[in-house]
Amino acid sequence: MKACFLFPGQGAQYPGMGRDFYETSKAVRELFELASEESKIDLKRLVFEGTEDELKQTQNTQLSVALIGAAAAICAREHGIAPEGCAGFSVGEWPALATAGVVSTGEMFRLVSARGRLMDEAGKRSGGSLMSAVLSLAPAAIEAAIAEAGLKNVWIANYNSPTQSVISGTASEIALAEEALKAAGARRVVRLKVSGAFHSPIMAYARDGFAEAVADIQFRDPTVTLFSNVTGARIETGTEAKKLAVDQIVSPVRWIDEEKAILAEKPGFCVETGPGTVLGGLWKAVGGEVPCYPCGTLDQIAAISL
């Protein structure tokens, strides 16, 4: 495997992202039109003219990050960088699924729109649920501290790196967990600005609604090597991909395991296909000598293809 595309997730967004893709690529302009048609949202206005607060709304965030990830993939291909593997973080798994041919691009936007709406609604129905990033504490130590504190409604939602995780839970227990984790040695515990406890059992309402949304859609076998947040391993079939797409909503993102599975395929390099550099930073902790290049602007893509 030569190039593996890594698509970022929620939190990578910023106003004006992808403008150079839109201005220079006809295929990207057509992508924006398709995304707006499928989601019933003017995504050109949202991404280029919307405020930071607008972009932080869960449905808007998920659609815009998936859109710019897909746009970056188009421009990378136009510059001769083709993926032999794909992976995505949380909502970033959707442009990975589309790039791997598992769903069409139109289906991706339709489903991401439903996913964002359902996850936002699940957060509101929970009566108060939150997420916090935990820095400089190993996942095993986080799990032990949560168990020792007797907390039943807090879980690790994102296994980001050996020293960085994100927890999800009810508002009351997240506050207790934050104190327990600081006492256990966490350097920092940072409350995240999200609308609910994503990738946890609190998202059961969203999972059930999303299962209905995907029921009549055919998921095809991937055309390139594809990796799963839920298992951290390769996705072999469309049937498996469909089940995992639903399970992902209530399951932790096992990004550390996923990175190790990517490395086992011996990629020549990875590209962070979308806004920001978060995944590149996480890759450094696991990726060894395999580089991960940013790919969120045309200048960054041109630097890779030289």
What is the set of active-site residues?
90, 199
Question: What are the strands of the beta sheet with 164-170, ordered from one edge?
Answer: 154-161, 164-170, 129-135, 188-191
Number of helices (H), then strands (E), in the chain: 14, 9
Helix, strand or coil, per DSSP, at residue 198: coil
State how far the Cα of 239 lies from the Cα of 231, in Å rounded to an integer: 15
Residues 6+ positions from 60 with CB-CB distance below 8 Å: 41, 46, 50, 54, 116
β-strand 188-191 against 164-170: which pairing, if any? Answer: unpaired
State how far the Cα of 282 lies from the Cα of 203, in Å rounded to an integer: 25
State how far the Cα of 305 lies from the Cα of 49, in Å rounded to an integer: 30
State how far the Cα of 146 lies from the Cα of 189, in Å rounded to an integer: 14
DSSP 8-state code for residue 203: G
Task: Say if residues 224 and 100 touch (Cβ distance below 8 Å).
Answer: yes
Task: Say if residues 222 and 203 touch (Cβ distance below 8 Å).
Answer: no
